[in-house]
Structure 1
Amino acid sequence: MKDLILHVKKEYFEQIKSGEKTEEYRAANHYWQKRIIGQQYDSVVICCGYPKAGDDDRRISFPWTGWSSRVITHPHFGDLPVTVFAINLMKAQEALF
């Protein structure tokens, strides 16, 4: 089983957990290109920070349903628009609609 594990800040974790945030962004740089483009995963695991082993309250798992390329402006990436990988965080049946 191959998982894509993404660590996020608590505020983003809570937004994902509530369903408010349905995509997680990663800069389209060389580091993330190697991990995303052409890769297949069983699931995407979102971690609130770096939880200890067995701390399942700080982990959410989603089926891997892919990614898309987006240009966004977000304080995390600075003031200028940047190209990111938008990783889908919806359940498989939600992604179909």
Structure 2
Amino acid sequence: MLTFPLKKEWYEKIRSGEKTVEYREVKPYWTKRIAAEIARNYPNENKKYCLAMTSIASRIGSSIEFKVGECRLRLGYTDRYLSATVSKIETVDGKCTDLRIDKPVYAIHLQDVKVTE
């Protein structure tokens, strides 16, 4: 299951429903974790295929439209969590996100957010 540590500001906005997309810079760290989660949800598929699919998504404008699964959103490194379903992951220009960076960013679309504290 993907776990995203969040600063209090973003945790509260996701909890209230104000924010429905979490952003992470496209880096090997997140690419590997996303690919592993896809492979877990599609056990009959070759893991290398899932890695290739995820690397394709590292290009701005690409997206992963198949089921990624449930994730946890953690307030910093505390024991307070939200759970949510990841409906889609796409790659967008980081300048247009709350990260405001000039790099590709994974836009992780969240649905059915629930408090699991």
User: Which residue of structure 2 aligns with residue 69 of structure 1?
Assistant: 91
Corresponding residue to 2:111 among 90, 94, 97: 90
Q: How does 1:1-97 map to 2 (within 5 A)?
A: 3-37=1-35, 39-40=37-38, 41-52=68-79, 58-73=80-95, 76=99, 80-91=101-112
Q: What stretches of structure 2 of length at least 5 have no aligned partner? A: 39-67
Identity of matched residues, %? 33
Task: Flag as ranges the 4+ runs of structure 1 deviating above 3 A.
Answer: 74-77
Q: Please report how far the alpha carbon of residue 91 of structure 1 lies from its aligned counterpart in structure 2 after TM superposition.
A: 2.5
Alignment size in residue pairs: 83
Question: Does the 8 A contact of 2:92 with 2:105 survive in 1?
Answer: yes
**For residue 62 of structure 1, what is the amino acid of its counterpart?**
A
Cα deviation for residue 33 of structure 1 reads 1.1
**TM-score, L = length of structure 1:** 0.72
CA contact (8 A) 2:23 2:98 kept: no
Change (3 A) 1:51 1:70: same
Q: Which amino acid aligns with 2:37?
A: Q
Residue segments in structure 1 that go unaligned for 5+ positions in a row? 53-57, 93-97
TM-score (norm 2): 0.61
